[in-house]
């Protein structure tokens, strides 16, 4: 009896196959949920960055040194995830925006190509319009009112 126990070392092939099958099922069930979580996290980070960019654009537009007037516009463009600015009236605005924001790269699949347009309004605020360019159509986002929504 003692001899029989000493020779029984390790797992049988059937036990190993059952454990591997259970692990494969768990991975198959959990992997899609994890990938959705990662993409949701990336999208959330991009939305926070868009919010920061718009705040920086608004603050920059209101600074007296840049002399932005009613209907002047600033445009932040993400092309293939890289940020660039077009600003009216001066290149100083672009330099200021890059100094404040730095260079940002989008990470979410939802925000690979989009445009933020800030237009100075009569009352001295900046109205933002966000649009995403696709091959055939333009998806309009609601004007920014504290929260970005599609």
Tens digit of each residue's pLDDT (9 = 90 or more) over 52-106: 888 888 888 888 888 888 888 888 887 766 788 887 767 788 888 888 887 777 7
Distance CA 55, CA 74 (A): 12
What was the pLDDT predicted at 62? 80
Which phi and psi angles does 87 have, rounded to 5°?
-135, 145
Among the residue ranges 37-46, 81-90, 120-129, 138-147, the one predicted with the least confidence is 138-147
Asked if the structure places residue 101 within a domain, the reply is yes
Asked if the structure places residue 84 within a domain, the reply is yes
Asked if the structure places residue 6 within a domain, the reply is no
What was the pLDDT predicted at 147? 41
Asked if the structure places residue 89 within a domain, the reply is yes
Asked if the structure places residue 99 within a domain, the reply is yes
Domain that holds residue 127: 46-140
Distance CA 132, CA 77 (A): 10
Asked if the structure places residue 110 within a domain, the reply is yes
Q: How many domains does the chain contain in total?
A: 1
What was the pLDDT predicted at 134? 54
CA angle 93, 119, 102 (to 5 degrees): 35
Q: Which residue spans within the chain are E strands per DSSP?
A: 73-79, 82-87, 114-120, 126-133, 138-140
Asked if the structure places residue 3 within a domain, the reply is no
Asked if the structure places residue 5 within a domain, the reply is no
Nearest to 93 by CA among 65, 52, 131: 65
């Amino acid at each position: 009896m003692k001899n029989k126990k000493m020779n029984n070392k390790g797992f049988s092939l059937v036990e190993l196959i059952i454990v591997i099958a259970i692990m494969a099922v768990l991975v198959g069930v959990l992997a899609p949920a994890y990938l959705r979580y990662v993409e949701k996290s990336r999208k959330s980070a991009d939305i926070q960055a868009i919010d920061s960019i718009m705040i920086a654009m608004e603050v920059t537009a209101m600074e007296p040194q840049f002399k932005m007037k009613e209907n002047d516009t600033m445009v932040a463009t993400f092309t293939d995830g890289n940020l660039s600015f077009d600003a009216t009236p001066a290149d100083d605005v672009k330099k200021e925006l890059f100094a404040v924001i730095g260079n940002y790269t989008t990470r979410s699949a939802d925000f690979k190509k989009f445009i933020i347009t800030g237009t100075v309004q009569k009352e001295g605020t900046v109205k933002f319009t966000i649009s995403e360019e696709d091959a055939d159509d333009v998806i309009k986002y609601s004007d920014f009112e504290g929260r970005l929504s599609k």
